[in-house]
Amino acid sequence: MPNLSDPYIIAWLIPLFPLIGFLINGALGGTATKKLAGIIATAAVFASFFVAVTLFLKVQASPEDAKQHLAYLMPWFSIPGIGGIPPFQVNFELLVDPLSVLMMLIITGVGGLIHLYSISYMAADKGFARFFTYLNLFVFFMLLLVMGNNLLILFIGWEGVGLCSYLLIGFFYEKKSAGDAAKKAFIVNRIGDVGVLIGMFLLFQHFGTLDFYHATSGTSASLVGAGTGFVQLALSHPEMIGGAATLACLMLFLGATGKSAQLPLYNWLPDAMEGPTPVSALIHAATMVTAGVYMVSRTHTLFELSDVAMGVIAFTGIATALFAATIGLMQNDIKRVLAYSTVSQLGYMFAACGAGVFAAGMYHVMTHAFFKACLFLGSGSVIHAIEHAMHAQHGHGHGDAHEEHGDAPHGQVLANAGPDPNDPQDMRNMGGLLGRTKITAGTMIIATLAIAGIVPFAGFWSKDEILWRMFNVHSDLHGLFYGVGAVTALLTAFYMFRLISKTFLVAPQTEAAKHAHESSPLMTIPLVILAALSTLTGWAVLKYEDFSEYLAPSVTTKDYAPTLLQPSLEHPLGYGLMIVILVIIGICISIYRSKPNGELMSPQARADRHLFSPGWYNWVLLNKYFVDEAYNFWFVHLGKKFSYWLWKTFDVDVVDGIVNGVGALTGWTGSKLRLAQSGYVRNYAFSMVIGIILVLFIVFQRSGHGW
């Protein structure tokens, strides 16, 4: 039974509140009013946030050698040892430490703002209650993922967020594109999940446990203590896993590439834009895609045992960052630009982990949550405004529902293809919104300055720390790592200010853009809060030095661990300034290319405006290097062909052949035996005589007397 006197037992309230919200809204179904469903879901997440703040204060007040606290609820299951296999027991136990508390605050804080925003954004949608039911369930599973003191509990949350992403990406299930995107996300993530399972088996084989920590005294634990959790054992007894560490780490990282959208399992995330915009914000900023970074950071003592695994993480991260940034240069869907920026920024986070600076990677997780949530919610405000204007212009009478427009293009896209005039997500249908949506524009510009890495905004401090550490990687490739990171920073500034220019700075490109208006306070208040955090983090609040000191008990390393970093290096100002100069160059080129003017462009003129001069690279980038087409051919098309061959060869010819053959043989035998049923008594009497003779013959033969 749980120890109710334990001050950390309140940790169970954090995942419990969203679960209660899910159960209430799920039970009420369509009978609850929209206002009630929204209030229940939002209040549940904010209640969890306030408990998380309480835990943060408790952890801060803990002794330095006992920052890990275990909140025990009850035993889950126990398997006795058999032969050489050790006994296996799993408890329902939550881990409360600096790293998990950080993730709790991000998930519930940013997630709560997204819930608040959604009350207005989804107000006219017929699936309003269903949306908030799924949203609460999503938050519950993500909290379980980051709070569990065991890889099995983490895996439950891991699979749960995968399920919820399927439900929310495919929320507009009437649209085929939404259903396809949901299935794509679900299937691609299953590939990575196989890696996580294999990694778990390897860890249990060598450590005999899947617990991260075991308490050394009472309910408190320490990373450098004498506990027997595998995170502790990897630090104190690395010989227990030895050379198998590389394979175990690579398997876990395979799972991380799926959940956190890294090469080669990244391509589900851009298609996830088919879901409602608040879902995009929740997936990209506060929940699912950071799960892989969290898992690697949580098990960092294991990863530090393998130089190979650390190198693979660093290379994959920096390659993904550049790859996704180049694709973002040519996208015209505002949400897809942000989606590829997320993939790119996640690459930075993994690059930091691969370089051994897990604190810097987690710092970028936090700052990215602020400015990316602001950008996605801001894009939703823009889409909301354009869509309203389109409805008013065309007299559709669709209200505020968001599923009517905006299907993303599938298949190959021509380099000179014009925009769909009814697509509110296409930036070529926007322009001139700076004066019409002042709050949205201002907050999005601030968030863009942050993601671009302009000092003093939040993204500068986290990205600068990562790039500097990449430059000092103890490897012959340190110059390449830093150079790729710097070029990616320039490209990020370029495509993000291309988004700002096309959306806000150029003249209105459609009549709808001329009549757009600002969103409601329920949508703009979260934007202002997130923009403030994107502005102040790094210099006024949450400085990196304070952050790394706070996180140190969760990511402490010992001297034996093979680190990719040189032990101590000063951070010269020149390297930071060089990155800022590159970013400013990217911004200037982007704004110049956008050519703001006061004229309303014709559709053909808008179709002919290119980021670069028309060329093959323009076409390749617009079609995202044809990766989706390649995957579709090699895995989907050939997979279907192979499945058909298996069905035809084994199911039809072998299995069905055997079954049908037995039936045919039985029928043939029956048809022959039926001939003996003549209906004449003399034939039956003759058969009986023959039978008696045969029986007597057998009896005499067996008796040995003969005839």
Q: What is the pLDDT of residues 5-49, one digit of tens each?
A: 678 899 999 999 999 999 999 998 777 778 899 999 999 999 999
Provide the pairing of β-strand 68-79 with 220-221.
Answer: antiparallel
CA angle 342, 344, 151 (to 5 degrees): 70
Cα–Cα distance measured from residue 465 to residue 640, given in angstroms and rounded to the nearest whole number: 46
Give the pLDDT score at 226: 64
pLDDT of residue 117: 97
Residue 362's pLDDT is 96
Is residue 387 within 8 Å of residue 399, measured between CB atoms?
no
Q: How far apart are CA 339 and CA 333, in angstroms?
A: 10
Tokens of 434: 């700076």
Order the strands of the 68-79 sheet from edge to edge: 88-96, 68-79, 220-221
CB atoms near residue 132 (< 10 Å): 29
**How far apart are the C-alpha atoms of 197 and 205, rounded to whole Å?**
12
The residue extents of the domains of the chain are 1-226, 629-674+682-704
Give me the count of residues in the chain.
Answer: 707
Alpha helices in 208-267 (DSSP H): 230-236, 244-259
Distances 120 to 117, 430, 474, 667, 679 between C-alpha atoms, Å: 6, 22, 50, 70, 87
Q: What type of residue is 235?
A: L
In sequence order, the β-bridge partners of residue 94 are 71, 148
Cα angle at 629 between 626 and 635, to 5 degrees? 130
Q: Provide the pLDDT for residue 409.
A: 46
Q: What b/e readout covers 376-388, taking b as 16+ CB neighbours within 10 angstroms? A: bbbbbbbbbbbbb
Question: In 122-150, which ranges are continuous DSSP H helix?
Answer: 128-147
Pick out the chain residues at pLDDT < 70: 1-2, 5, 83-84, 216-222, 224-226, 394-418, 473-475, 556-576, 592, 594-616, 704-707
Q: Fill in the DSSP letter of residue 418.
A: P
User: Is the peptide bond prior to 572 cis by the omega test (within 30 degrees of 0)?
Assistant: no
652: left (phi over 0), alpha (psi -120 to 50) or beta: alpha
The answer to whether 279 touches 171, Cβ cutoff 8 Å, is yes
242 closest CA partner among 296, 202, 197, 195: 202
Distance CA 49, CA 116 (A): 13
Q: How many CA atoms lie within 13 A of 375 on its CB side?
A: 33
Contact assessment for residue 269 and residue 408, using Cβ atoms and an 8 Å cutoff: no
Phi, psi of 269 (to 5 degrees): -70, -45
What's the CA gap between 634 and 181, in Å, rounded?
18
Residue 74 dihedral angles phi and psi, to the nearest 5°: -170, 165
Q: Provide the token pair at 248.
A: 């175990």
Question: Residue 565 has what pLDDT?
Answer: 47
Distances (CA, A) of 373 to 70, 111, 643: 31, 9, 42
Q: What are phi and psi of 95, to 5 degrees?
A: -105, 120
Q: Is 654 helix (H, G, I), strand (E, B) or coil?
A: helix
Instruction: Say how far apart CA 541 and CA 532 lie, in whole Å.
Output: 11
> CB under 8 Å to 51, separation ≥6 — which residues?
10, 11, 13, 14, 17
Rounded to two decimals, what is the model's pTM? 0.88
Using CA atoms, how far residue 574 sits from 124, 429, 482, 567, 570, in Å, is 52, 41, 14, 21, 11
Q: What would you report as the CA-atom Rg of the chain, rounded to the nearest whole angstrom?
A: 31
What local confidence, expressed as pLDDT, does residue 612 receive? Answer: 44
For residue 106, the tally of other CB atoms under 10 A from its CB is 26
